Amino acid sequence: MRIDKAEVIVTSPDRNFVTLKLTTADGLTGLGDATLNGREMAVVAYLSEHVVPLLLGRDARRIEDTWQFLYRSAYWRRGPVTMAAIAAVDMALWDIKGKAAGMPVYELLGGASRNGLLAYGHASGRDNEELFDSVREHQAQGYRAIRIQSAVPGLKSIYGIASNATYEENSGVRYDHEPAQRGGLPNEEDWDTRSYLRHIPTVFEAVRNEFGPEVPLLHDGHHRMTPIQAAQLGKSLEPYDLFWLEDCTPAENQEALRLVRQHTTTPLAIGEIFNTVWDYQQIVREQLIDYVRSAVTHTGGITHLKKVLDYASQYQIKSGMHGPTDISPVGMAAAMHLGLSIHNFGIQEYMKHGEKTDAVFEQSYTWNDGFLHPGDKPGLGVELDVDEAGNYPYIRAYLPYNRLADGTVHDW
Residue numbers annotated as active site: 159, 222
Residue 377 interacts, among Mg ion, ligand KDG, none and using kind-specific CB cut-offs from 5 to 8 Å, with none
Select from 189, 220, 290, 383 the one that contacts ligand KDG (CB under 6 A): 220
Answer whether 335's CB lies under 8 Å from 308's CB. Answer: no
> Smallest distance, Å, CB 164 to Mg ion?
17
CB of 179 to ligand KDG, least distance (A): 5
Q: Which of 349, 357, 382, 392 binds ligand KDG (CB under 6 A)?
A: 349
Choices 134-142, 280-288, 320-328, 379-387 (CB under 6 A): range interacting with ligand KDG: 320-328
Q: Could you say whether residue 326 binds Mg ion (CB under 5 A)?
A: no
Q: What residue 192 binds from ligand KDG, Mg ion, none (CB within 5 to 8 A, per partner kind)?
A: none
Residue 358 forms beta bridges with which residues? none
Backbone angles phi, psi at 189, to 5 degrees: -115, 175
CB 180 → ligand KDG: shortest distance, Å?
7
Q: Shortest Cβ distance from residue 409 to Mg ion (Å)?
A: 19
- The residues in 215-254 that bind Mg ion, with binding defined as CB under 5 A, are 220
Name the binder of 324 from ligand KDG, Mg ion, none, CB < 5-8 A by kind: ligand KDG
What is the dihedral sign for C-alpha 258, 300, 219, 349? Answer: negative
Which one of 37, 150, 157, 402 is in contact with ligand KDG (CB under 6 A)? 37
| CA angle (384 as vertex; 93, 68 as ends), nearest 5 | 20
Largest CA-CA distance found in the chain, in angstroms, rounded: 61
The pattern of x and - marking residues 262 through 281 that bind Mg ion according to CB under 5 A reads ----------x---------
Q: Which range binds ligand KDG by CB under 6 A, 88-96, 256-264, 300-308, 321-329?
A: 321-329
In the region spanning residues 246 to 305, those forming contacts with ligand KDG, defined by CB under 6 A, are 272
Residues in Cβ contact with 85 at an 8 Å cutoff, skipping those fewer than 6 apart: 34, 43, 46, 47, 50, 51, 70
Does residue number 14 form part of the binding site for ligand KDG (CB under 6 A)? Answer: no
Per-residue b or e along 350-364, where b marks 16 or more CB atoms closer than 10 Å to that residue's CB: bbebbebbeebbebb
Binding partner of residue 290 among Mg ion, ligand KDG, none, CB under 5 to 8 Å per kind?
none
Q: Give the DSSP letter string of 277-332.
A: GGGGHHHHHTT--SEE---TTTTTHHHHHHHHHHHHHTTT-EE----STTS-HHHH
Helix (H) or strand (E) holding 410: strand 409-410
Selection from Mg ion, ligand KDG, none that 326 binds (CB < 5 to 8 A by kind) is ligand KDG
Query: Using the rule CB under 5 A, is 349 a contact of Mg ion?
Result: no
- Which positions ≥6 away from 283 have C-beta within 8 Å? 254, 257, 270, 289
Are the beta carbons of 309 and 292 closer than 8 angstroms?
Answer: yes
Nearest to 91 by CA among 34, 48, 10, 15: 34
Is residue 68 within 8 Å of 93, Cβ to Cβ? Answer: no
Residue from the set 121, 324, 329, 370 that interacts with ligand KDG by CB under 6 A? 324
User: Which range binds ligand KDG by CB under 6 A, 41-49, 109-117, 228-236, 319-327?
Assistant: 319-327
Measured CA to CA, the distance from residue 113 to residue 118 in angstroms comes to: 13
Binding site for ligand KDG (CB under 6 A): 37, 179, 220, 222, 272, 322, 324, 326, 349, 399
